Amino acid sequence: MKRVLPGFGLSMGFTLAYLSLLVLLPLSGLVFKSSALGIGQFWDIATGERAMAAYRVSFGASLLAALINAFFGLIVAWVLVRYPFPGRRLIDSLVDLPFALPTAVAGITLATLYSENGWIGRFLEPLGIKVAFTPLGIVVALTFIGMPFVVRTLQPVIEDIEQEVEEAAAMLGATRWQTFWRVLLPGIMPALLTGFTMAFSRAIGEYGSVIFIAGNMPLISEIVPLLITAKLEQYDVVGATALACVMLAISFLLLLAVNGLQWWTATRHHGGKGSL
């Protein structure tokens, strides 16, 4: 069989060279730079009070935002695929707005909307809910930028689900909840976990949209990327790379765990999904 692309050896060579230049070399340089620190110094920087607080804010807000996107993103994707209604194409195009909108513009817009005198914040303020310049604002920003990943990942999967499967489940006496939980969800779950992983990964490294709405208060609403930037502004390059290495290691472990869960879910339901 004649292949369009070059043979395996040449194609693999291009692949490895491309990944090395864009991924492996920069990450290796990051680790090499942080190796200038001794183990004790590295540990002191990585586990300092301000760093630990920033970890909690970054990963906690990212996880919460990804969970919110997983829940509501599934609903949005289902509605856009299954229900015809006026303006559906417009709403579908709006899903990609966080992709096209510069993150700084998104942050300024969200901060304006959710401030005490903003269009939304003025209604939340009497209820004692303060969004702008609080950790809650970080969750809002991360939810905004992560939503398209879940919706776009789920849409093609939902489109491939035949409605006859739902009809067959109903004829066998399954309730709507049983149909969703035991028939539809097993097929959707791998894509849902993929969208969740992508939204979570995107949120961990987000900077532009967060700094305008977070308040950026150390120990309260400071994210790790901002702390790294602050160290760079103080010419503490080694300290910044140490924090970056910690973020890299934690992110890799979390992604590995989620991808393992995704593989396990797909394997567990392979051949048995859709059973009542």
Show the low-confidence residues of the chain (pLDDT under 50).
273-276
Distance CA(19)–CA(17), nearest Å, equals: 6
Task: Report the pLDDT value the prediction gives residue 273, as an integer from 0 to 100.
Answer: 47
User: What residue ranges do the domains of the chain occupy?
Assistant: 39-269
How do residues 186-236 score in pLDDT, each as one tens digit? 888 888 988 998 899 899 989 989 999 998 898 899 999 999 999 999 988
Task: Report the pLDDT value the prediction gives residue 275, as an integer from 0 to 100.
Answer: 45
CATH domain 39-269 topology: MetI-like fold (1.10.3720)
What predicted TM-score, i.e. pTM, was given to this entire model?
0.85
Closest CA to 215 of 134, 130, 116, 124: 134
The residues, ordered by sequence, that sit 6+ positions from 151 with a Cβ below 8 Å of its Cβ are 73, 76, 77, 80, 95, 195
Task: Report the pLDDT value the prediction gives residue 276, as an integer from 0 to 100.
Answer: 43
Task: Report the pLDDT value the prediction gives residue 266, as an integer from 0 to 100.
Answer: 67
